Amino acid sequence: HAKELGRGVHCFFEPGMDMALRKRRSLERDLRHAMQENELTLHFQPLFDSSQTLVTFEALLRWTHPTLGPIPPTEFIPMAEESGLILALGEWVLRTACRTAIGWQEGYRVAVNLSPIQILRGTMPALVQAILNETGLPSSRLELELTEGMLIHNAEEALEQLVALRQLGVRLVLDDFGTGYSSLSYLHRFPFDKLKVDRTFVQRLESDSSARAIVNAIISMSKNLNLEVTAEGVETLAQFEMLRAQGCHELQGFLLGRPMPETEIRHFQPLFGSQREQTIQQLQLLP
């Protein structure tokens, strides 16, 4: 019976895999054209410091496919990484983000996500320097967000690249912290300026006392290592208050502002302005 079942599964699976593969191939092809066809845009999500001042916008890539509509980055970024297209895509993101940021009179910083493939190529420091020169953005206004996965597997090369990037004066952020396997003390060997607590911990703050303990430990350990801490995915006032009470330096999430197109930035009303009491009252009125 097992044999029969195996054969059955085999027969059932192959056409399906073909379909998936074909779909993927054609999406890959479409992505290649997306840059020329102006189907790619950046959205920007605000980050606030602990006194509720807007300090940074994170650039998040968006792709609107001509027939399929919006495709999430969690779907097309891995595809771009496998095909190598991420190098061209990543350069476009960096250039567009810096160009946009130079137009912000308020002097906000811009945070750009980098793929490990871009780092390990070995040409990022030169590219970043060239784009800063070209756009005129001061290096202190650029933050680069990286995830920890690649650091473990390519520690030597990664370290060298990160040191060179940091020497340009940009700030390095360890994104999605807590989802990988590396310890904070190990990562302290890398020249990070701050780390971003992953959304999964923030989301469990209210219901799960161990998530609370983990987040508190991350925050206090980071402080001892002279790292700043950001929390991503803040969706509720309770999460916001807990993180602030623990001394989290920066906060980001749908509660404070969703990713938005560049044109909306100048109309954006931060939910947490100077009149905090009033703001909280307003928030409590929200559904």
- Which parts of this chain interact with Mg ion (CB under 5 A)? 113, 145, 175-176, 232
Which one of the spans 28-36, 69-77, 204-212, 214-222 is the region binding ligand C2E (CB under 6 A)?
69-77
* Closer Cβ to ligand C2E, 73 or 191, answer by number: 73
Question: Which one of Mg ion, ligand C2E, none is in contact with 253 (Cβ closer than 5 to 8 A by kind)?
Answer: ligand C2E
Which one of the spans 2-10, 158-166, 229-237, 275-283 is the region binding ligand C2E (CB under 6 A)?
229-237
* Closer Cβ to ligand C2E, 230 or 246, answer by number: 230
Query: Of the candidates 104, 259, 268, 279, which one interacts with ligand C2E according to CB under 6 A?
Result: 259
> In the window 71-100, what residues touch ligand C2E (CB under 6 A)?
72-74, 77, 90, 93
Which one of the spans 1-9, 130-138, 178-186, 250-258 is the region binding ligand C2E (CB under 6 A)?
250-258
CA-CA-CA-CA torsion sign (223, 224, 227, 231):
negative
Residue 138 per-residue DSSP state: -
Nearest approach, Cβ of 239 to ligand C2E (angstroms)?
9
Nearest approach, Cβ of 277 to ligand C2E (angstroms)?
23
Determine the Cα angle at 43 with ends 131 and 26, to 5°.
90
Residue 232 interacting with ligand C2E (CB under 6 A): yes
Site string for ligand C2E, 184-203 (x = CB under 6 A): ---------------x----
Provide the Cα torsion 210, 214, 219, 223; round to 10°: 130
> In the window 147-166, what residues touch ligand C2E (CB under 6 A)?
none
- Using DSSP bridges, classify how beta strands 54-65 and 109-113 pair: parallel, antiparallel or unpaired: parallel
Give the span between the Cα atoms of 207 and 62, in whole angstroms: 32
- Ramachandran area for residue 99 (φ above 0: left; ψ -120 to 50: alpha; else beta): alpha
Which long-range contacts link 189-194 to residues 24+ away (Cβ below 8 Å)? 189/159, 190/151, 190/158, 190/159, 190/162, 191/162, 191/163, 191/166, 192/162, 192/227, 193/143, 193/166, 193/227, 193/228, 194/222, 194/227, 194/228, 194/229, 194/230, 194/249, 194/250
Which one of the spans 121-129, 206-214, 242-250, 253-261 is the region binding ligand C2E (CB under 6 A)?
253-261
* Closer Cβ to Mg ion, 30 or 144, answer by number: 144
